[in-house]
């Protein structure tokens, strides 16, 4: 029986690319805007392949949801696009070890999506690198650089999206639950009262524990995201080393056999 103190929270924001494109059209974004965001989505499918949030949701769904929240606020297409790969420097798979920003990574993103999108992604990275972001960076928000202000909006939107869809996990619930009042104040100062109202509502609403979904999420052990590569890509180091050794042995055997054949031919020719 459902707990009378609990109620479901409606998840109205997109979770797939097609849902996002439909929302963009409904919100009045141009075809050029939609093409930019589609191209960024294609990049996201490459850089986040196999990435799952601890709740079991694909990371790409969170990214789409964040972009959906931003598009509902009618910000520029560049900001929506940045929201679609907002944490790429720490969570994207660039094929190299390490989860941090680098000149090579920035260059790759700029080449793929342009400087006007990347600057917000870089701003998001700068904000999230500050442990006291809520208390210090936004202390005097009216004087902050416009790019950082919008990067802050991306941060609020992605935290809110996590709270909506991964709120059954403490890691994603506490960020908004603890910093929600500050986020509401910042959203209002940035000129987005609708987002402020939605955050305020989720802070005062009972948790969505009257559903099977809540029980399933609550039963998940751990709160760490994970990569799940396809089986065809799971070549362990030992297997790769063994394959290299085996190939080397075959090449060596072939070379020895060839040497013997050459010597035999020479001997036959000398006897003849």
Quick check: 167 and 54 in contact, CB under 8 A?
Answer: no
Quick check: 63 and 83 in contact, CB under 8 A?
Answer: yes
Task: Note whether 76 and 198 are same-domain residues.
Answer: yes
Quick check: 160 and 198 in contact, CB under 8 A?
Answer: yes
Range of the domain at 256: 235-271
Task: Note whether 149 and 245 are same-domain residues.
Answer: no
pLDDT of residue 7 exceeding 50:
no
**pLDDT tens by residue, 58-69:** 999 999 999 999
Q: What's the pTM value of the predicted model, to 2 decimals?
A: 0.79
**pLDDT tens by residue, 218-245:** 566 565 677 777 776 665 555 555 556 6
Predicted local confidence at residue 74, as pLDDT: 97
CATH number at residue 79: 1.10.3210.10
Kind of pairing between the strands at 51-52 and 226-227: antiparallel
Across the chain, what does the average pLDDT equal?
Answer: 82
Task: Note whether 264 and 167 are same-domain residues.
Answer: no
> Is residue 268 very low, low, confident or very high in pLDDT (cuts 50, 70, 90)?
low
**pLDDT tens by residue, 93-150:** 998 877 789 999 999 999 999 999 999 999 999 999 887 788 766 777 778 899 999 9
**pLDDT tens by residue, 67-104:** 999 999 999 999 999 999 999 999 999 988 777 899 99
pLDDT of residue 247 exceeding 80:
no
Task: Note whether 210 and 245 are same-domain residues.
Answer: no
Torsion-angle region of residue 95: left (phi > 0), alpha (psi -120 to 50) or beta?
Answer: left
């Amino acid at each position: 029986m459902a707990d009378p103190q609990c109620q479901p929270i409606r998840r109205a924001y997109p979770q797939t690319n097609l849902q996002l494109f439909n929302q963009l059209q409904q919100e009045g974004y141009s075809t050029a805007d939609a093409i930019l965001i589609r191209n960024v989505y294609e990049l996201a499918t490459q850089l986040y392949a196999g990435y799952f949030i601890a709740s079991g949701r694909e990371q790409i769904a969170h990214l789409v949801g964040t972009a959906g929240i931003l598009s509902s606020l009618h910000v520029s297409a560049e900001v929506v696009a940045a929201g679609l790969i907002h944490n790429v420097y720490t969570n994207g798979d660039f094929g190299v070890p390490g989860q941090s920003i680098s000149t090579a990574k920035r260059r790759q993103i700029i080449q793929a999506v342009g400087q006007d999108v990347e600057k917000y992604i870089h701003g998001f990275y700068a904000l999230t690198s500050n442990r006291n972001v809520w208390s210090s960076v936004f202390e005097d928000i009216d004087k902050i650089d416009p790019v950082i202000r919008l990067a802050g909006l991306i941060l609020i939107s992605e935290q809110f999206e996590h709270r909506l869809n991964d709120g059954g996990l403490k890691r994603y619930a506490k960020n908004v639950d603890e910093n929600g009042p500050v986020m509401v104040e910042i959203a209002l100062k940035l000129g987005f009262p609708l987002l402020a109202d939605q955050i305020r509502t989720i802070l005062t609403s009972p948790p969505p524990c009257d559903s099977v979904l809540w029980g399933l999420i609550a039963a998940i052990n751990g709160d760490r995201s994970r990569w799940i590569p396809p089986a065809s890509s799971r070549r362990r180091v030992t297997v790769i080393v063994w394959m290299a050794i085996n190939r080397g042995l075959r090449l060596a055997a072939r070379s020895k056999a060839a040497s013997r054949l050459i010597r035999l031919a020479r001997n036959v020719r000398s006897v003849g």
